Structure 1
Amino acid sequence: MGKADDKNQDPTDAIGPGEPLSPPVIRSETAGPERLSPAPEVFRHPFFIRLTHWINALCLLMLVISGFQIYTGRQWLFGRWHHFLFAWIFSFNGLVYVAYSVASGHLLKNLFPGWSDFRKIGSTLRDTLFFRHPKGAEAARYNVLQKTAYTGVVFILGPLILLTGLASSARGEAVFPFLHDLFGTRKRAQSIHFNLTILFIAYTAFHLLMVILTGFGNNLRSMLTGWYRIPPVDEGNEK
């Protein structure tokens, strides 16, 4: 944006609720005495995406802690009541996220991988394995691995862990008898639920690792304010 009054524009006025990444809205700051080489920024995360993200983070932490205490029989801090409470908050929050993503176009535009994305899966996988992270405008978009992981967690892993959690309890199986046909015995449902929890932990650990490697401060800022600073091509990613 070249005009002086554009600098003070409210980010929420610069983009509609369904256009967080496509097309990107970029702003740049005028160089001041303390910022000789400012990088442009793109509005990456709308408010509801940021809100549901942090609610999910809190719920997952509480669910893992209470779940392992239930599994080991040492419910010294949290019990089954806490586990089910945060499970329902997590589920409702997920429904809000999906509803907003579909209604705003965020799902199809930015998260759901298309054929053009899958054509790049080989090069994207090599870049990820060798820690070659995208720079410039390419860094503002999700790659095919990110899109596949996000949609897989939202539409496969999330629903499965909810259903197996319900099937693991006698009350849940009584309210939803079809769960017995899906998973068999409660013991089997508990085993699947535990394995899915491990997958959730592994996904979260890798997600945090990539957040750190691709610029922790920049990624955290974008999830708090919505604005993501594009790493310059000649200077590398912000650390």
Structure 2
Amino acid sequence: MSVLPTPVRAPLEHRHASHPRWLRLTHWLNALAVLIMVTSGWRIYNASPLYDFSFPLSITLGGWLGGALQWHFAAMWLLLCNGLAYLLINLASGRLSRQFFPLSAKGVAQDLWAALRGRLGHADLSRYNQVQRLAYLFVILDIAVLVVSGLVLWKSVQFATLRELLGGYEAARHVHFVAMALLVGFVAVHLLMVAVVPKTLWAMIVGRKERT
């Protein structure tokens, strides 16, 4: 009588790291909303520049101010609703505390130093290192600032309290622009990291990394 061997569980680096469907959906919807909002926002900015430069029309969306505003408002609602869904699911499932905490200055410094030396592991893509945790918490806060300052620019009279908290309408314009610039910077770094570890893109598309 033959005895079947007991299955041996694959080590962590050989197992699939999965991302749930809701996470992948909200991720790509957020990416779409950010792309539309940033490029249409650049066209809106060009109509009344804050600083001594403007964005090339070839990288803006909308064609004209009215068209850019329509794209911007449409993407704003997508970003707001999708972002709230992302936060609520994270809170309700307990994922927020599991994935983004604990977080410490020492842990961030250690993971950043390991990343700079090319020694930061990427075996389990479903778990964030402390640099990622800090970056994702930052971008959540940054998008919240974008939404709040955007509401002031959109409906300054109706959101008078928010306007005053931001230091007035003109100050809100500066806050909105800086928050946008920080978001673009985050996206640039995020894309660089995807280029360095391309399997992270596959995991966010199909829900798991390729078998190694």
Among residues 201, 206, 209, which one is paired with 1:220 in the alignment?
A: 201
Q: Secondary structure at the match of 1:101?
A: helix
Give the root-mean-square deviation of aligned CA atoms.
2.3
Larger RCO (CA under 8 A, 6+ residues apart): 2
Counterpart position of 1:79: 68
Conservation of the 8 A alpha-carbon contact between 1:164 and 1:183: yes
In the alignment, the residues of structure 1 paired with residue 10 and residue 202 of structure 2 have an alpha-carbon distance, to the nearest angstrom, of 15
| Matching of residues 46-125 of structure 1 within 5 Å | 46-73=20-47, 75-76=62-63, 78-110=67-99, 112-114=100-102, 118-125=105-112
The structural deviation recorded for 1:204 is 0.5
Q: What is the TM-score normalised by the length of structure 2?
A: 0.80
Is 2:153 the partner of 1:168?
A: yes
Q: For residues 191 and 56 of structure 1, what CA distance do their matches in structure 2 show?
A: 23
Per-residue deviation at 1:132?
Answer: 3.1
Please give the alpha-carbon distance, in whole angstroms, between the structure 1 residues aligned to 2:101 and 2:40.
34
Instruction: Percent identity, please.
Output: 30
Deviations 1:68-120 (A, max 9, x none): 0011127516421210110111011000000111111111111x2215x6543
Aligned to 1:131, what secondary structure does the other structure show? coil
Tell me the number of residue pairs that the alignment of Structure 1 and Structure 2 aligns. 190
Q: Distance in 1 between matches of 2:211 and 2:136?
A: 21
Deviation beyond 4 Å, 4+ runs, structure 1: none
Give the deviation of 1:192 after TM superposition. Answer: 1.0
In the alignment, what sits opposite 2:52?
Answer: none
Give the helix-richer structure, 1 or 2.
2
* CA shift in 2, pair 1:135/1:161, >3 Å: closer
Write the distance in 2 (CA, Å) between the matches of 1:213 and 1:97. 26
